[in-house]
Amino acid sequence: MIKFHTIAASIACLAVLGTSGVAHAAGQSSSTHNVIVETTVVSPLAATTGQVMKFGDIVPGASAGTVVLSTSNTRSVGTGGVTLASGSTTPASGVVNVSGTGNASFTIGFSSGVTLALDTDSTKSMTVDSFVLKVDSGTDQSSNYAGTLTSGAAALKIGGTLHVGTSTDNPAGDYSTAHTGGSPLTLTLTYD
């Protein structure tokens, strides 16, 4: 009978140990882990005008036409009755100097509705569209404008097409986006 009690006691001990082991293993079925979260604050994009966009002196004709200004400061008659004149205003592509985080890429958006108004009569105006952009010494871009801030800076050279009316529509005088009735070219710069 001693053997029977010893075996029964051994089974009882194993049962207690086995239950305790299961309870202990169940207690470790979950775990926690801390995840590190980081961000980098970059320099904001900033822009300044380096050169005002100038189409130079022109003479409207009996029919409307266009003048095309390149990113390399040259201009040509696109269509119609416009004559290029030499005078006091030298043609120049617009230049915008951009600064920000070094080697970051960015996109450039152009506003629509750019209007040059006559200084003495805001009802007399011309428009500019079909913008062309060159970033630093890159190639001309006519859509999907983008650039890179090499060493934290880039120079945007801007050309476009000036729509000129007839000599009646656009009498002699100074036309500018800064005059009453004018609307400027607005660039929207966005990091990629």
Say which CATH number the domain at 186 has: 2.60.40
Domain count, the chain: 1
pLDDT at 87: 85
Residue at 29 is within a domain? no
Tell me what the mean pLDDT of segment 167-189 comes to: 97
Please give the distance of CA 30 from its chain centroid, rounded to a whole number.
47
For residue 14, what are the contacts with CB-CB under 8 A and spacing of at least 6? Answer: none
Under DSSP, is residue 104 helix (H, G, I), strand (E, B) or coil? Answer: coil
Name which of 93, 95, 191 is nearest 147 in CA terms: 191
Predicted TM-score (pTM) of this structure: 0.81
Q: Is 84's pLDDT higher than 70? A: yes
Residue at 121 is within a domain? yes
pLDDT at 14: 45
Tell me what the mean pLDDT of segment 118-146 comes to: 96
pLDDT at 74: 96
Confidence of residue 27 (pLDDT cuts 50, 70, 90): low
Under DSSP, is residue 13 helix (H, G, I), strand (E, B) or coil? Answer: helix
pLDDT at 144: 94
Residue at 38 is within a domain? no
Name which of 145, 118, 120 is nearest 130 in CA terms: 145
Residue at 16 is within a domain? no
Q: Over the stretch 31-67, which tens digit does the pLDDT of each residue have?
A: 999 999 999 999 999 999 999 999 999 999 999 999 9
Place of tokens 């051994």: 10
Residue at 135 is within a domain? yes
Domain that holds residue 172: 46-191
Q: Is 176's pLDDT higher than 90? A: yes
Report which DSSP code applies to 186.
-
Residue at 3 is within a domain? no
For residue 171, what are the contacts with CB-CB under 8 A and spacing of at least 6? Answer: 118, 121, 124
pLDDT at 59: 96
Residue at 33 is within a domain? no
pLDDT at 12: 46
Residue at 61 is within a domain? yes
Q: Is 9's pLDDT higher than 70? A: no
